[in-house]
Amino acid sequence: MEFTKMHGLGNDFIVVYGEQELPADASERAVQLCNRFFGIGADGLVYILPSDRADFKMRIMNSDGSEAEQCGNAIRCVAKYVYDKGHISREQITVETLGAGVQALTLQVEGGAVTSVRVDMGEPVLEGLKVPTTVEANPVLNHPVEAGGREFHFTAVSMGNPHCVIYVDDAVNFQLGTWGPLLEKHPLFPKKINVEFATVRKRDYIDMRVWERGAGPTLACGTGACATLVSSVLNGFSDRAAVVSLKGGDLFIEWDENDNHVYMTGPAAFVFEGKTK
């Protein structure tokens, strides 16, 4: 299998192009290849496939073998891959995702290569049962959740995949490894959940750290950054456009008042190419 290692702000992926459909053993491949000691090493395995609804289809397997409905960093990597490799020459493309439908992307190109991608991430889902959570509220704001003897309060947002955003005094130094796994699998979240710990520094600048469902701590999460901005607006903490600062770098997130869509802008990068035995 030929592959390309890519990353979006350090959230890294094994990208595979050329398959006609998702392989039957994709889950097992993801567990093996994403292992950082015995495999290539990555947060996820991404397949770029044909689509009858868009220019391309993206399917993402997490490092634990589960499938993610959407991934904001991965979709930027897909955009850079297909353009830089010559599979498409337009700077406006569409990508079909499992959980968020067809998404439109605008590519910023310099010297024949993509330097950043603006993604229309669609409308956030705020109804608690649809995120999904077990909470019958719309939206779910500042809702209590107990884990490991500690009470947190979260806001629930789906960006094609489920998120709970929790505000803490210092997101940068927060103990992700202690609280992330307890919250990810909490009974309030029937399909597990991505957990964002956020600190709003200014109305246009938010620190965020993430525990991703199926992958654990990652350097960045695009959908999580979008969920964090939406949550911060709903709670009155931020403006509708802000930089969300992640461990791997910054994303610019906008929640448009006119169409209710969330827009994410950020980079993607090649690391290396190879072939498995």
pLDDT tens-place string over residues 70-101: 999 999 999 999 999 999 999 999 999 999 99
Q: Quick one: pLDDT band at residue 148, thresholds 50, 70, 90? A: very high
Does 123 appear as a known binding residue? no
Does 155 appear as a known binding residue? no
Query: Residue 175: CB partners within 8 Å, gap ≥ 6?
Result: none
For residue 277, is pLDDT > 90?
no
**CATH class, range 2-121+266-275:** alpha beta
What CATH fold (topology level) applies to the domain 128-260?
Diaminopimelate Epimerase; Chain A, domain 1 (3.10.310)
Range(s) of the chain covered by CATH 3.10.310.10: 2-121+266-275, 128-260
pTM of the model: 0.95
For residue 49, is pLDDT > 90?
yes
Q: Quick one: pLDDT band at residue 37, thresholds 50, 70, 90? A: very high
Catalytic annotation, pick one of 34, 77, 164, 221: 221
What is the reported pLDDT for 166? 98
For the question of residue 164 being annotated catalytic, the response is: no
Query: Residue 3: CB partners within 8 Å, gap ≥ 6?
Result: 14, 15, 16, 33, 40, 273, 274, 275, 276
Does 173 appear as a known binding residue? no
